[in-house]
Structure 1
Amino acid sequence: MRRAERLHALTETLRRSGTRGVSAERLAREFEVSVRTVKRDLDALENSGAPLWSRPGPGGGYGLVDGGSLRPVTLSPTQAVALMAAVSAAPDAPYADLAAAGIRKIMDVLDPATRAHAHELAERIWVQAPPAPSRATRSALEEGMAEQRVIRLRYTAQDGVTTARDVEPVLFASTSGRWYLVGWCRLRDAMRWFAVSRIERARVTTMACSGHTVDEVGEPPENARPVHGGGGVTRSAPTRVPGTRTR
């Protein structure tokens, strides 16, 4: 988990602890870092303006000052469950961990009656989600895409051939129930589709991408579209998967 993501998750954990607070040792276990790292993160949060409090001694810990959390939001139980179902059904989607943290954040600030109704309704929805890639691999792909840096992959194609290659990430695409990283492969000097489930390892390099665009990927089918948080869709996202385009 990148430090920026950990700081965000740390803030959420502190907020959720309420007046009880949480110890540095527990935070270290939860985020799989040292106590020293946790205390550095807490200092960084406080320096950034987060309203932290600390209580020394046995039973002490850290928390957020009352009023330092989100205001209640207006959301119906069915809207809340729709968000939970979407995230639960796609744990392999890009940035799924951050989406799940966002859902927990929303649920926490709902009024008690709405939250209870949403949890009751959620019990009536079952999902059998696909296994997600390792957290390290997903973090590298997400970071490379967000920061537009070259990703070094170890990839095993459908025919069993394993290669190491540098890829400039262009887009994530979901088609036929699978997620793909689409990018410019420096080994093949061409645009390629990589099934995320076949990426064995991934590491973000310091090299910047050279500027390949979504338009270079190809013409998408009519029903393909980008993820969009607003009211309309501005353009389509390619989801056509060439049969042997990872060689």
Structure 2
Amino acid sequence: MKRTERLHALSEMLRRSGSRGCTADWLANEFGVSVRTIKRDLDALENSGTPIWSRPGPGGGYGLAGRSNLPPITLTPAQAVALLAAVTAAPDAPYADLAAAGIRKIVDVLDPRTRMKADELARRIWVNADSPVARAISSALEQAMAEQLVVRIRYTSANGNTTTRDVEPVIFAFREGRWYLIGWCRLRNEIRWFLLKRIERASVTKIPCENHDVEDIGIPPVTARSVQIGHD
């Protein structure tokens, strides 16, 4: 996870903790970093204007002084639960962690009556999803896609061959219930599909991608569509 993403997630976690707060040890374990790194992140948030409080000693920790900077949001209970269900059912979707954080932020500022009805409806929806791709792998792939940098992956194919490849990410694709990274494979010198579940490691390089675009993938199926935000 990039530091900017961790700072955002850290802010969200402190906000959700309310008056209880979180200890530096607990936060460090949650993000897989050292306590020293968490304290540097907390200082960075505070220097950027985030109102962080701290309590020393047993039972102490860190939290946010303010409730929320989001204005009231008008959603029906069904709309709120639809967002929760969509993200919960798709843990492998690109940027799923950030989407979940955004939806929690929305739900937190619903009016109490809508929130209560949404909670009741959410109890009636169960999800039994597969374990998501490891966060370190997802974060690397997401960063490489967003910044258009070559990503180095360790990949095991369906026939059991394991290779290390440099890939220029072009698109994420969802097909028949599975997520893929589609990109220009520098090992094979062609466009290849990589099932996310078979990527064992991923690290972002500093090498910029070349001019491979969505059109290089070919003509999509008639049932396929992008998630581009529509305009009225």
TM-score range, shorter chain: over 0.9
2:132 is the alignment partner of 1:140: no
2:39 is the alignment partner of 1:39: yes
Q: Aligned residue pairs: how many?
A: 232
**Normalising by the residue count of structure 1, what TM-score does the alignment of the two structures yield?**
0.88
Q: Displacement, 1:56?
A: 3.2
Q: Displacement, 1:67?
A: 5.1
Q: Displacement, 1:178?
A: 0.9
CA distance in structure 2 between the aligned counterparts of 1:56 and 1:182, rounded to whole angstroms: 49
CA distance in structure 1 between the aligned counterparts of 2:31 and 2:71, rounded to whole angstroms: 26
**Normalising by the residue count of structure 2, what TM-score does the alignment of the two structures yield?**
0.93
Tell me if the contact between 2:150 and 2:168 (Cα under 8 Å) persists in the aligned partners. yes
2:141 is the alignment partner of 1:123: no
Which deviates the most, 214-223 or 54-63? Answer: 54-63
Q: Displacement, 1:68?
A: 4.8
What is the one-letter code of the residue matched to 1:94?
A: P
CA distance in structure 2 between the aligned counterparts of 1:24 and 1:160, rounded to whole angstroms: 42
Change (3 A) 1:160 1:112: same
Q: Which residue of 2 aligns with 1:225?
A: 225
Q: Which residue of 2 aligns with 1:85?
A: 85
Q: Displacement, 1:146?
A: 0.9
Q: Displacement, 1:219?
A: 0.4
Tell me if the contact between 2:15 and 2:67 (Cα under 8 Å) persists in the aligned partners. no
What is the root-mean-square deviation in Å for CA atoms of aligned residues?
1.6
Q: Which residue of 2 aligns with 1:157?
A: 157
Note the alpha carbon deviations across 1:19-52, whole angstroms, 9 max, x for none. 3333323322322222211110011111212122
Note the alpha carbon deviations across 1:199-234, whole angstroms, 9 max, x for none. 1211111111112100111001222111123347xx
Which stretches in structure 2 are left out of the alignment for 5+ residues? none
Tell me if the contact between 1:91 and 1:129 (Cα under 8 Å) persists in the aligned partners. yes
Query: Which SS does the other structure have where 2:43 is aligned?
Result: helix
Tell me if the contact between 1:15 and 1:69 (Cα under 8 Å) persists in the aligned partners. no
Q: Which residue of 2 aligns with 1:13?
A: 13
Q: Which residue of 2 aligns with 1:53?
A: 53
What is the one-letter code of the residue matched to 1:153?
A: I
Q: Which residue of 1 aligns with 2:100?
A: 100
Which stretches in structure 1 are left out of the alignment for 5+ residues? 233-247
Which deviates the most, 120-129 or 217-226? Answer: 120-129
Query: Which SS does the other structure have where 1:203 is aligned?
Result: strand
Q: Which residue of 2 aligns with 1:75?
A: 75
What is the one-letter code of the residue matched to 2:150?
A: V
Tell me if the contact between 1:165 and 1:186 (Cα under 8 Å) persists in the aligned partners. yes
CA distance in structure 2 between the aligned counterparts of 1:197 and 1:20, rounded to whole angstroms: 37
